[in-house]
């Protein structure tokens, strides 16, 4: 898994072997079981996760008391409750392992320490933030400009693993539609 993370980092930034070894030394392994919560609402996000195997979802509870899935992270993706991680404020979100999952995580303190000691880590962080911004903005725009059918088609095009690997309840939560609507969409599309 460390090699997986090393390859991911080298795709994003140019670092020496010594710098890469230093970066990797701050990451620790974690193997949460299916449905295990890594962060609950009200806690402060203190870790950023790299998914080696499995799946994490970031979600919150909406005004109707229903799960609303904001982000799904599969293999070779990072996730955290980013607002809480960057501001230090309590999280409005939960992070849950959707499958038995193998992760590498870095603490908030160590992540920001790397910004001080490895100049290229700033570029890595910027890339991470830009990706998060683009992903969240696309999702927000899809809710405002696309109907359920178009959102489902877009999901199949951009991230088919969500539909292939996750239960209908989570897919519906990610698309912000009911499970019944999802079933109808699946039969149509």
- The reported pLDDT for the residue numbered 79 is 95
pLDDT of residue 182: 92
Rounded Cα distance between 26 and 24, Å, is 5
Instruction: Measure the CA–CA gap between 91 and 88, rounded to whole angstroms.
Output: 9
How far is 46 from 61, CA to CA, in rounded Å?
A: 20
Burial class (CB in 10 A: 0-12, 13-18, 19+), 76: middle
Query: pLDDT of 23-74, one tens digit each?
Result: 999 999 999 999 999 999 999 999 999 999 999 999 999 888 888 999 999 9
Cα 144 from Cα 166, distance rounded (Å): 24
Ranges of the chain with pLDDT below 50: none
| Per-residue model confidence (pLDDT) at position 186 | 86
pLDDT for res 62: 87
According to CATH, the topology of domain 2-107 is Jelly Rolls (2.60.120)
Q: Are strands 67-73 and 102-107 parallel, antiparallel or unpaired?
A: unpaired
pLDDT tens, position by position, 60-70 = 998 888 889 99
């Amino acid at each position: 898994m460390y090699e997986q993370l090393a390859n991911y980092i080298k795709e994003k930034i140019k670092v020496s072997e010594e710098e890469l070894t230093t970066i990797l030394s701050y990451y620790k392994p974690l193997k949460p079981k299916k449905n295990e919560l890594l962060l609950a609402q009200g806690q402060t996000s203190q870790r950023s996760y790299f998914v080696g195997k499995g799946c994490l979802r970031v979600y919150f509870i909406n005004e109707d008391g229903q799960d609303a899935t904001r982000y799904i992270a599969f293999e070779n993706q990072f996730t955290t409750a980013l607002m809480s991680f960057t501001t230090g404020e309590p999280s409005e979100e939960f992070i849950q392992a959707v499958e038995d999952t193998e992760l590498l995580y870095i603490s908030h303190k160590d992540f920001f320490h790397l910004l001080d000691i490895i100049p290229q880590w700033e570029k890595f962080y910027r890339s991470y933030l830009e990706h998060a911004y683009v992903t969240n903005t696309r999702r927000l725009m899809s809710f405002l400009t696309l109907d359920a059918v178009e959102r489902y088609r877009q999901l199949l095009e951009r991230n088919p693993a969500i539909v292939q690997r996750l239960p209908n309840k989570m897919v519906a939560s990610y698309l912000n539609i009911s499970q019944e609507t999802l079933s109808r969409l699946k039969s149509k599309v």
